[in-house]
C-alpha cells in the first residue's frame, strides 16, 4: 500500500465523522463566505419550496378550470419580418419563448462554471468577461420575462386577481412565483456585475478568487429553481 | 492526530472602529450588538407587558375601562402575542444571547461577518418601528392595530369584521417580513461561526449546551421562517391587490367579496410549519442556558451531556413534522390526527430526558443557591408543568374539548412564555457580571425572583382549570346582558379576578429588575473575571468586560469539555476549558 | 433553603388545588365519555411524573446544599439509568396515546345511522338547516347567497325544497339520536362548540367540516364560538336544547321549509328595498335579524311603532327620532336584555328615510293595528 492511496481507503462515513468531530472548522477548507452562502441557500430553498407546495396544493384543489399552459404560453413565429414574408401565416408554437428563456439561463450556468474555473487559474480577464457574459444572459432572461408578463397582462388580459380563462389563482401564483424568481435573477445580475468590477479593480488580487465561486453557487441555485418552476408551471 | 489547521481568524485583521459612533452605535462588535438587541427586545417587551395588564383588567373587571372595547381587546391580544413570540423571545434568546454567547463560548474573536451582523440589528430595529408605528398612527389617523390574533388566520384577518383589517394588518405583515430578513442575517452568522470559526481544541462535542441550543434553534429558524415569509407575502397580496390565495368566496357582513377559490387551511399549514418550530426556536436556547446555569451553580457536570446534545438535535428534527397538532379542530383531513398526535407524543421522550438530566444533575451536587440558579430551578419546575399539559393537548382526542380554551392559554404561557423568560432572567443574572464587570444586586434579585416565579405560577396554574370549565380564549367578556348570561359559574369569575391581581403584582415587580440592571451598572459590586467559578471560555477572557476581539493577542486553546466540575483528585472544584490536561500518570 | 420550601409548596399546593378545585369539566352530555377517560389517564400519569420529579428536586436541593471544600460526584453519564428512564417514558407515552387514538378513530368515523344537521355560521350568529323529509340537503354555496337566500341554497335544486330552515339561534335535537354536524361558514372561521358535548370543530368557508355525537341527557346547553372571528366573537352565542323525541317532533312541525321560507319573504316597495340594501351594506344584519329571532341585537321584525323597555327601566316608542338616535349614538338607549356594543354609523337623509320605510314594511299588516303594544 503506497502512501498516496491511504486517503482513498477511508470511507466517506469515516472522513465525515472525523471532520464533524474535529475542532476549528467542520467543513475543512471551506471559507466562511462559502459556508454562509450554502446555509443561506438552504433557507432560500425553503422559501421556494413553500411557494411551490402552496401552488401545487391550490392547483390540485381549486374547482374552477385551470388555464391550459400550452395555449397561454404559446408564442407565434411571425410570418414576415421587415416586409419579407417567408411564411403563409404565423405559426403558434407552444412554450417557444420559455424554451429560449430556459436555454439562456442554463447556458448562463455554463459560462458561470467557466468563470469559476478561470478564478481557480487566477485568470482575471477570463473571470471578468465570463461573469459579465453570465450577467448579460441573466439580464436577457429578465428582459424576456418582462416581455412574457407584458404579453400575458396586455394581450391575454391575465391579472393576478383573475382572468377570463379559469381559476384566478393561475395568475396569482404565476406572477408571484416568477416575479420572486425574477427578483432573484435581477439581484444575481447586480451581484455578478459588482463582483466582476471588483475583480477588475484588483480587490481580490492579494487573497484568492473564492468570491467568484460563491457568486457561482448563488447563480446555479437560481438556475436550479428555474428548472422546478419551469416544470411545475409550464409542463404541468 | 494533531491538527495543523490554523484558525482563519488568526490570519485576518479585525475591523477596528475609529469613531465613537462606530464603537457604540453602528458597532460591529458582537457584544455591543447583543446589548442593542437585548435593550430593544426588553423595551418592546414592556409594551407587551402593559398590553397584557390591560387585558387582565378587562377580564377581571369588565366595566373598569369604558374606552377598552372589543376592538382594543383584540388588538391587545394580537400585539401582545406577536411581540412576545417574535420580537421579545426570538430576538432576545437568539439576538442577544446568541450574539453574546456564540463567539465567546466558541473562542472566536467575533461573528464571521460582523458587518452583516450589525445590519441584522438595524433591520430588526426597523421591524420593531414598523410594528409599533401603528400606535402613533392611531392618534392621528383612523388606522387601527390589527386584532386578528397572533395566528393571523384568514379570512378573518383581512375582512371588515376584524379591527385593523385595512392598514393595521399590512403594517404587521410588513414588520414580520422585515424581521425575517433581520433574523436571516443574524442566523447565518451564528451558524457559520459555530461551524467554521471555533478555536483550537473546541470540537462540537465540547461546546457548552447553550451554544448547542442556539445552533439548532437558529437552524430551525432558517428553515421555518421562510414559511412565515411566504404566507405573509401571500396574505399581503390578498389584502392589497385582491388575489385569492387564502380567500374563498365569502359574504362578509352582508357584502359579497370578489375572492374565490382560495384555501384558508393553506395559510394555517404554512403558519404552523413556521409556528411549531418557532416554539423550539425559543425553547432550545432556553434549554441550553438552563443546562449551563444548573451545572455551573450546582458545581457538578451536567448529567448525560451526550444525551442532552442528541435530545436537542432530535427535538429540532421532530419539531418539523408536528405542526398540524395546532390544527386538530381546524377541519383538515381527519387522518392527519393520527400521524401528528403520534409524532407529537414522540417528541415528549427527548424532552422528558432533558428534564430528567437537569434533575439528576442536582443529585450529589454541591448546590449554590445564587440568583441565576434560582431562576434555573424555577424554569425546570415551570417547564415540567408546561410540558405535561402539552401531553394533554398533543393527544388529538383530548385537544378536542380543550383547544381554544384557557387551558391552551395556560399551557403555552407556562411552556413558552414563563419558562423562556425565567431562562432569560437567569441568563442575564449569570452573564451580566461578564458583560459589565459588575454584579447585580442579590437582594433585589431574590425579591424579583420570588415574586416573578410564584406570581406567574399562581397566574397560570389555576388558568388550566378555567379551560376545563370551558371558558373560551379571546373572549372580550363572557356575560352578555340577559339574553346570554354568563355560561360559567360565578366562582370561576372570582378566579379570574384573583389571576388578574397576581398578574398586576408580577407586572409591577419587573420594575425591580430594571432598577437592578440600571443601578448595578453604575454602583454594583465589582465582579472580577470569573465570579461564579465557571468553566466555559467566556469567563476566561483577558479583560472583563471583554474588549473588542475578546481574546487579546492569542486565541485560547481548549483541552476539555465545559463541565469539569468536582473532578476527583483536583484542588479546585472546577477546571476551565482552556486548562491543559495533565500528562497521564 | 427558601427555594426548596417554595418548590415543595408549589408541588404539594398544585396537587391540593387539583383535588379541592370546584372547576372541572361540565357534566358530560354526550357519548364522548372516552374523551374524559383519556383525560383521566393522562392526568394520572402526568400528575405522578410531576410530583415525583418535583419531590426529587426539592429533596436534592435540600440535601446537597453548598459546603465549601466538598466536591460533587463526578459522573458524566450513566447509560443504564438513561436507558431505563427513556424506556419508562416511552411506555408512559404509549399508555396515554393509545386510548387517545382509539377515541379519535371513533370521533372521525361517523356511524351510518347518524342524522345530519347543517350548522351555518356567520359573523356573529348561527343558523341551521335540516335535510327535511327526503333526507338530502339541497346543494348550497356561498356564491348563491343573497339577502333573501341567507344560506346560499342553489336556486333550482329539487332536494332543497323540503330542507328545514332555522334562522333562530336556538337548535333543538332529540335525545339518543346520533347526529352528524356539518359545518359551513359564510365569512370567516368559526367553531361550533357545546362544552357539555365535548366535541368541537372549526367551520371554514369554502369547505364542509363535520363531527358527530349522541346526546345522552336532556337539557339546555350553551353554544359558543371557539375560533376567533372578529370583534363580535364573544357575542356569538347560541343555545342547544336536547329534548325527548315527542317534544322534538312538535318543535320540528313548527319549523318552515325552504319552499315556505322563500314564499314567505315579504314583498317590499322599491323604497323599502333600497332601505334593505342600505342596511345590508352597513352590516346591520350581522346583529339584527328580520325573522323575529334574537341575535346580538334586537330583531327588526315588527319593531316599528312598538314601545320597548330599556335597560334603565324606562320605555320608549320606536319612531324616527329613536331610530335616528340609535344609529348615531347606539349607547344612548340600550334595550333591556341586550349589551351595548354597536358601532355608530352616519347615514345621509335619503338612506335614512329608505331605512325607515324598510322598518315600517317589516311590520306585518295585521300587527300594525296593535300599535303601541309593549314588547317584552
Give residue-wise pLDDT tens across range C321-370: 888 888 888 888 888 777 777 777 778 888 888 888 888 877 765 544 44
Output C284 or B310, whichever has higher pLDDT.
B310
pLDDT bucket at B483, cuts 50 / 70 / 90 = low
Tally of CA atoms within 13 A in the half-sphere of B492 that contains its CB: 21
pLDDT tens-digit series, residues B202-261: 999 999 999 999 999 999 999 999 999 999 999 999 999 999 999 999 988 878 898 988
Average of pLDDT values for C307-328? 83
Is residue A93 within 8 A of residue A174, CB to CB? The reply is no
Mean pLDDT confidence for B45-71: 92
Domains (range + CATH), chain B = 26-202 (1.20.210.10), 238-248+260-368 (no CATH), 383-528 (no CATH)
Query: Using the beta-carbon criterion (under 8 Å), do B263 and A57 form an inter-chain contact?
Result: yes
Residue B108: DSSP 8-state: -
* Residue B248 near chain A (CB below 8 Å): no
Which residue is associated with the grid cell 404541468?
A236
Q: Are the beta carbons of A168 and B263 separated by less than 8 Å? A: no
**pLDDT(B291) > 90:** yes
What is the model's pLDDT at position B329?
93
- pLDDT truncated to tens, each residue of chain A (236 aa)? 444 445 556 788 888 888 888 888 899 888 999 999 999 999 999 999 999 999 999 999 888 888 888 788 887 777 777 777 777 777 777 788 888 999 999 999 999 999 999 988 888 899 999 999 999 999 999 999 999 999 899 888 888 888 888 888 999 999 999 999 999 999 999 999 999 999 989 888 877 888 999 999 999 999 999 999 999 998 88
Residue of C103, C185, C341 lying closest to B70 (CB–CB): C341
Strands (E), A15-116: 75-77, 80-81, 84-85, 91-93
Q: Residue B583 burial (CB < 10 Å; 0-12/13-18/19+)?
A: exposed
Note the pLDDT of residue A188.
Answer: 96
Predicted confidence band at B508 (pLDDT cuts at 50, 70, 90)? very high
- Residue B482: the pLDDT is 61
- Cβ neighbours of C108 in B, within 8 Å: 334-335, 337
- Provide the pairing of β-strand A75-77 with C256-257: unpaired
Contacts of B202 in chain A (CB under 8 A): 23-24
Query: In this predicted model, what pLDDT tens digit does every residue of B403-457 receive, in sequence order?
Result: 999 999 999 999 999 999 999 999 999 999 999 999 999 999 999 999 999 999 9
> Mean pLDDT, to the nearest integer, of B34-55?
96
Q: Does B370 touch chain A (CB under 8 A)?
A: no
pLDDT band at C61 (very low <50, low <70, confident <90, very high): very high
pLDDT band at C373 (very low <50, low <70, confident <90, very high): very low
Residue in the structure block whose three cell numbers are 438587541: B37
Q: What is the pLDDT of residue C150?
A: 86
Predicted confidence band of residue B481 (pLDDT cuts 50, 70, 90): low
CB atoms C39 and B392 under 8 Å? yes
Kindly tell me if the per-residue pLDDT of C140 is higher than 70: yes
Residue C57 has its nearest CB partner, among B250, B352, B377, at B377
Show the 3-state SS of C126-141: EEEEECCCCCCCCCEC
CATH fold group of domain A27-77+91-235: 1.20.120
Nearest to B203 by CA among B309, B118, B285: B309
- Cell triple for residue A215? 457568486
Cα separation, B432 vs B412, in Å, equals 28
* Res C376 pLDDT > 70: no
The yes-or-no verdict on residue B2 having pLDDT over 50 is: no
> pLDDT at residue B381 above 50?
yes
**DSSP element (H, E) containing C243:** strand C237-243
CB contact under 8 Å between A43 and B202, yes or no, is no
CA distance C131 to C159: 8
Look at residue B343 in the predicted model and tell me its pLDDT.
95
Among candidates A47, A173, A48, C143, which has minimal Cα distance to B244? A173
Q: Which residues of A touch B (CB under 8 A)?
A: 20-28, 30-33, 35-36, 39-40, 42-44, 46-47, 49-51, 54, 57-58, 61-64, 160-161, 167-169, 171-173, 176, 180
Nearest by CB to residue B345, choosing from C96, C203, C222, is: C96
* Nearest Cα to Cα of residue B375 among B415, B423, B432: B423
Residue among B156, B397, B405 whose CB faces C229 most closely? B156
Burial (CB < 10 A; 0-12, 13-18, 19+), residue B418, is buried
* Centroid of chain to Cα A165: 29
What percent of chain C is predicted at pLDDT more than 70? 94
| Amino acid A205: pLDDT | 80
Distance CA B268, CA B155 (A): 11
Query: Of A9-18, B26-35, B393-402, which gets the smallest average pLDDT?
Result: A9-18
Average pLDDT estimate for C76-102: 93
C-alpha C205/C-alpha B348 separation (Å) is 34
C117–chain B nearest CA distance, Å: 17
pLDDT at C368: 44
> Is residue A81 helix, strand or coil?
strand
**A10 Cβ partners below 8 Å, 6+ apart?**
none
Higher pLDDT, B329 or C363: B329
**First and final C-alpha spacing in chain C:** 65
pLDDT higher than 80, residue B523: yes
Query: Are C108 and B334 in contact, with CB atoms under 8 Å apart?
Result: yes
State whether A169 and B270 contact (CB < 8 Å): no
Q: Which residue's entry shows cell 367578556?
A: B477
Question: Which set of grid coordinates corresponds to residue C100?
Answer: 387517545
What is the average pLDDT score of chain B? 92
B374 touches chain C (CB under 8 A): yes
- Sign of the Cα torsion B420, B422, B424, B426 reads negative
More confident residue, B119 or C358: B119
- Quick check: A144 and A101 in contact, CB under 8 A? yes
Q: Closest by alpha carbon to B178, among B91, B74, B285, B283?
A: B91
Give CA separation, A223 vs A107, A132, A182, B28, B102, in Å. 10, 17, 11, 34, 34
> What residues of C are in contact with residue B345 (Cβ under 8 Å)?
93, 96-97
Nearest to C53 by CA among A1, B357, B34: B357
Q: In which band, very low, low, confident or very high, does the pLDDT at C250 lie, cut at 50, 70 and 90?
A: very high
| Separation of alpha carbons B440 and B523, rounded Å | 9
Task: Tell me whether B25 touches chain C (CB under 8 Å).
Answer: no
Residue with the three cell numbers 445580475: A189
Q: Which of B147-156, B217-226, B473-482, C11-20 has the lowest mean pLDDT?
A: B473-482
Which residue of B254, B449, B562, B568 to mutate against C (max C Cβ within 10 Å)?
B254
Q: How far apart are CA B321 and CA B145, in angstroms?
A: 33
Handedness of CA B169, B172, B178, B183 (dihedral sign): negative
Indicate the burial class of C136 (C-beta count within 10 angstroms; 0-12, 13-18, 19 or more).
Answer: middle
Cis amide bond preceding B545, omega within 30: yes
Of B115 and C373, more confident: B115
User: For chain C, which domains are there?
Assistant: 26-61+79-109 (no CATH), 115-261 (2.60.40.420), 267-368 (1.10.760.10)
Residues from chain B that touch A160, judged by Cβ atoms under 8 A, are 237, 241-243
Residue B445 contacts C where some CB pair is shorter than 8 Å: no
DSSP string for B203-247: -GGGS-HHHHHHHHHHHHHHHHHHHHHHHHHHHHHHHHH---SS-
Predicted complex: ipTM over 0.85: yes
Judge whether B325 and B354 are in contact, CB under 8 Å. Answer: no
Instruction: Show the cell assigned to B476.
Output: 372580550
C-alpha cell at C224: 359558543
What does DSSP say about strands A80-81 and A84-85: parallel, antiparallel, or unpaired? Answer: antiparallel
Helix then strand then coil, % of chain C, to nearest 5 = 40, 20, 40
Q: Which three cell numbers stand for residue C59?
A: 429533596
**In whole angstroms, how far apart are CA B441 and each of B92, B538, C60?**
22, 21, 27
The Cα–Cα gap between C39 and B435 comes to 47
Q: Which secondary-structure segment (H or E) carries B307?
A: helix B305-318
Q: Which residue has the higher pLDDT, C375 or A122?
A: A122
Burial class (CB in 10 A: 0-12, 13-18, 19+), B377: buried
Chain C within 8 Å of B450 (Cβ-Cβ)?
A: yes
3-state secondary structure of C5: helix
Nearest to residue C228, comparing CAs of C200, C202, C197?
C202
Which of residues 209 through 238 in chain B touch C, CB cutoff 8 A?
A: none
Mutate to test the interface with B, among A17, A19, A24 (most CBs of B within 10 A): A24
Amino acid at each position: 500500500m503506497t502512501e498516496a492511496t491511504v486517503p482513498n481507503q477511508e470511507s466517506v462515513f469515516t472522513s465525515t465523522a472525523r471532520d464533524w468531530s474535529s475542532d476549528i472548522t467542520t467543513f475543512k477548507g471551506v471559507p466562511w463566505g462559502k459556508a454562509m452562502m450554502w446555509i443561506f441557500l438552504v433557507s432560500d430553498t425553503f422559501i421556494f419550496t413553500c411557494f411551490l407546495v402552496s401552488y401545487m396544493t391550490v392547483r390540485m384543489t381549486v374547482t374552477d378550470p385551470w388555464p391550459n399552459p400550452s395555449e397561454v404560453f404559446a408564442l407565434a413565429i411571425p410570418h414576415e419580418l421587415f416586409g419579407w414574408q417567408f411564411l403563409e401565416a404565423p405559426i403558434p408554437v407552444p412554450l417557444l419563448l420559455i424554451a429560449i428563456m430556459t436555454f439562456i439561463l442554463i447556458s448562463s450556468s455554463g459560462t458561470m462554471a467557466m468563470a469559476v474555473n478561470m478564478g481557480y487559474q487566477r485568470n482575471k480577464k477570463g473571470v471578468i468577461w465570463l461573469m459579465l457574459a453570465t450577467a448579460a444572459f441573466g439580464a436577457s432572461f429578465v428582459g424576456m420575462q418582462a416581455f412574457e408578463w407584458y404579453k400575458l397582462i396586455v394581450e391575454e388580459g391575465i391579472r393576478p386577481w383573475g382572468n377570463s380563462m379559469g381559476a384566478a389563482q393561475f395568475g396569482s401564483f404565476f406572477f408571484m412565483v416568477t416575479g420572486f424568481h425574477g427578483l432573484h435573477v435581477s439581484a444575481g445580475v447586480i451581484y455578478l456585475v459588482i463582483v466582476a468590477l471588483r475583480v477588475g479593480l484588483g480587490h481580490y488580487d492579494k487573497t484568492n478568487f473564492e468570491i467568484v465561486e460563491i457568486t457561482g453557487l448563488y447563480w446555479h441555485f437560481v438556475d436550479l429553481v428555474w428548472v422546478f418552476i419551469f416544470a411545475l408551471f409550464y409542463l404541468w | 492526530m494533531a491538527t495543523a489547521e490554523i484558525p482563519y481568524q488568526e490570519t485576518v485583521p479585525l475591523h477596528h472602529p475609529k469613531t465613537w459612533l462606530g464603537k457604540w452605535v453602528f458597532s460591529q462588535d458582537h457584544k455591543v450588538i447583543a446589548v442593542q438587541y437585548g435593550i430593544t427586545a426588553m423595551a418592546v417587551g414592556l409594551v407587551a407587558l402593559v398590553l397584557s395588564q390591560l387585558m387582565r383588567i378587562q377580564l377581571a373587571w369588565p366595566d373598569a375601562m369604558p374606552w377598552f372595547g372589543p376592538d382594543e381587546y383584540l388588538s391587545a391580544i394580537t400585539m401582545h402575542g406577536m411581540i412576545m413570540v417574535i420580537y421579545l423571545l426570538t430576538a432576545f434568546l437568539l439576538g442577544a444571547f446568541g450574539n453574546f454567547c456564540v463567539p465567546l463560548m466558541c473562542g472566536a474573536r467575533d461573528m464571521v461577518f460582523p458587518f452583516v451582523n450589525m445590519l441584522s440589528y438595524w433591520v430588526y430595529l426597523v421591524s420593531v418601528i414598523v410594528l409599533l408605528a401603528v400606535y402613533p398612527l392611531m392618534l392621528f389617523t383612523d388606522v387601527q392595530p390589527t386584532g386578528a390574533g397572533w395566528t393571523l388566520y384568514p379570512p378573518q384577518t383581512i375582512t371588515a369584521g376584524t379591527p385593523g383589517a385595512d392598514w393595521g394588518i399590512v403594517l404587521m405583515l410588513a414588520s414580520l417580513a422585515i424581521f425575517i430578513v433581520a433574523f436571516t442575517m443574524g442566523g447565518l452568522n451564528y451558524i457559520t461561526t459555530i461551524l467554521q470559526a471555533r478555536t483550537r481544541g473546541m470540537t462540537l462535542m465540547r461546546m457548552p449546551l447553550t451554544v448547542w441550543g442556539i445552533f439548532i434553534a437558529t437552524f430551525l429558524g432558517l428553515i421555518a421562517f421562510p414559511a412565515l415569509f411566504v404566507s405573509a407575502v401571500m396574505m399581503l397580496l390578498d389584502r392589497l391587490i385582491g388575489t385569492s390565495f387564502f380567500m374563498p368566496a365569502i359574504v362578509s357582513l352582508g357584502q359579497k367579496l370578489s375572492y374565490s377559490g382560495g384555501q384558508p387551511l393553506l395559510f394555517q399549514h404554512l403558519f404552523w410549519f413556521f409556528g411549531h418550530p418557532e416554539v423550539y426556536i425559543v425553547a432550545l436556547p432556553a434549554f441550553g442556558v438552563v443546562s449551563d446555569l444548573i451545572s455551573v451553580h450546582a458545581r457538578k457536570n451536567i448529567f448525560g451531556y451526550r444525551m442532552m446534545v442528541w435530545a436537542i438535535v432530535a427535538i429540532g428534527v421532530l419539531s418539523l413534522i408536528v405542526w398540524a397538532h395546532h390544527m386538530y379542530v381546524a377541519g383538515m383531513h381527519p387522518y392527519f390526527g393520527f400521524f401528528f398526535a403520534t409524532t407529537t407524543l414522540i417528541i415528549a421522550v427527548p424532552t422528558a430526558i432533558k428534564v430528567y438530566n437537569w434533575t439528576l444533575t442536582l443529585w450529589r451536587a454541591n448546590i449554590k443557591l445564587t440568583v441565576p440558579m434560582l431562576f434555573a430551578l424555577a424554569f425546570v419546575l415551570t417547564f415540567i408543568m408546561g410540558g405535561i399539559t402539552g401531553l394533554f393537548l398533543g393527544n388529538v382526542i383530548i385537544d378536542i374539548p380543550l383547544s381554544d380554551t384557557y387551558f391552551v392559554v395556560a399551557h403555552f404561557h407556562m411552556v413558552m412564555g414563563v419558562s423562556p423568560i425565567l431562562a432569560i432572567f437567569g441568563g442575564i443574572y449569570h452573564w451580566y457580571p461578564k458583560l459589565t464587570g459588575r454584579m447585580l444586586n442579590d437582594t433585589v434579585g431574590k425579591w424579583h425572583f420570588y415574586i416573578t416565579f410564584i406570581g406567574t405560577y399562581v397566574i397560570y396554574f389555576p388558568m388550566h382549570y378555567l379551560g376545563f370549565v370551558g371558558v373560551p380564549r379571546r373572549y372580550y367578556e363572557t356575560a352578555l346582558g340577559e339574553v346570554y348570561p354568563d355560561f360559567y359559574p360565578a366562582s370561576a369569575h372570582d378566579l379570574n379576578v384573583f389571576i388578574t391581581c397576581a398578574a398586576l403584582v408580577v407586572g409591577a415587580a419587573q420594575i425591580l429588575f430594571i432598577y437592578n440592571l440600571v443601578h448595578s451598572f453604575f454602583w454594583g459590586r465589582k465582579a472580577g473575571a470569573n465570579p461564579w467559578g465557571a468553566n466555559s471560555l467566556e469567563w476566561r477572557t483577558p479583560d472583563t468586560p471583554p474588549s473588542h476581539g475578546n481574546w487579546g493577542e492569542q486565541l485560547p486553546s481548549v483541552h476539555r469539555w465545559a463541565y469539569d466540575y468536582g473532578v476527583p483528585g483536583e484542588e479546585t472544584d472546577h477546571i476551565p476549558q482552556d486548562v491543559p490536561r495533565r500528562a497521564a500518570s | 433553603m427558601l427555594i426548596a420550601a417554595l418548590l415543595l409548596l408549589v408541588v404539594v399546593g398544585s396537587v391540593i388545588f387539583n383535588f379541592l378545585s370546584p372547576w372541572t369539566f361540565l357534566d358530560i352530555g354526550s357519548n364522548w365519555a372516552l374523551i374524559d377517560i383519556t383525560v383521566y389517564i393522562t392526568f394520572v400519569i402526568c400528575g405522578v411524573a410531576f410530583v415525583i420529579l418535583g419531590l426529587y428536586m426539592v429533596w436534592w436541593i435540600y440535601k446537597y446544599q453548598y459546603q465549601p471544600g466538598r466536591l460533587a460526584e463526578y459522573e458524566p453519564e450513566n447509560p443504564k439509568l438513561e436507558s431505563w428512564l427513556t424506556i419508562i417514558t416511552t411506555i408512559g407515552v404509549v399508555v396515554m396515546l393509545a386510548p387517545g387514538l382509539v377515541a379519535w378513530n371513533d370521533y372521525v368515523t361517523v356511524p351510518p345511522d347518524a342524522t345530519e344537521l347543517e350548522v351555518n355560521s356567520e359573523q356573529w350568529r348561527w343558523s341551521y338547516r335540516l335535510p327535511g323529509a327526503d333526507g338530502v340537503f339541497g346543494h348550497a354555496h356561498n356564491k348563491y347567497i343573497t339577502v333573501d337566500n341567507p344560506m346560499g341554497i342553489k336556486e333550482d335544486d329539487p332536494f332543497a325544497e323540503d330542507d328545514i330552515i332555522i334562522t333562530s339561534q336556538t337548535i333543538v335535537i332529540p335525545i339518543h339520536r346520533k347526529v352528524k354536524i356539518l359545518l359551513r361558514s359564510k365569512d370567516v372561521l368559526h367553531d361550533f362548540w357545546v362544552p357539555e358535548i365535548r366535541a368541537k370543530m372549526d367551520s371554514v368557508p369554502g369547505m364542509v367540516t363535520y363531527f358527530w355525537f349522541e346526546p345522552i341527557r336532556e337539557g339546555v346547553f350553551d353554544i359558543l364560538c371557539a375560533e376567533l372571528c372578529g370583534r363580535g366573537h364573544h357575542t356569538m352565542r347560541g343555545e342547544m336544547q336536547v329534548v325527548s323525541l315527542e317534544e322534538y317532533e312538535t318543535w320540528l312541525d313548527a319549523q318552515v321549509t325552504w319552499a315556505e321560507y322563500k314564499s314567505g319573504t315579504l314583498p317590499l316597495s322599491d323604497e323599502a328595498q333600497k332601505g334593505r340594501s342600505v342596511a345590508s351594506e352597513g352590516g346591520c344584519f350581522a346583529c339584527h335579524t328580520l325573522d323575529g329571532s334574537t341575535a346580538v341585537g334586537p330583531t327588526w321584525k315588527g319593531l316599528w311603532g312598538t314601545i320597548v323597555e330599556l335597560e334603565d327601566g324606562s320605555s320608549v316608542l320606536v319612531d324616527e327620532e329613536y331610530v335616528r338616535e340609535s344609529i348615531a349614538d347606539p349607547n344612548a338607549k340600550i334595550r333591556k336584555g341586550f349589551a351595548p356594543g354597536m358601532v355608530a354609523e352616519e347615514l345621509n337623509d335619503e338612506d335614512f328615510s329608505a331605512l325607515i320605510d324598510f322598518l315600517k314594511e317589516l311590520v306585518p299588516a295585521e300587527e300594525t293595528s296593535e300599535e303601541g303594544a309593549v314588547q317584552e
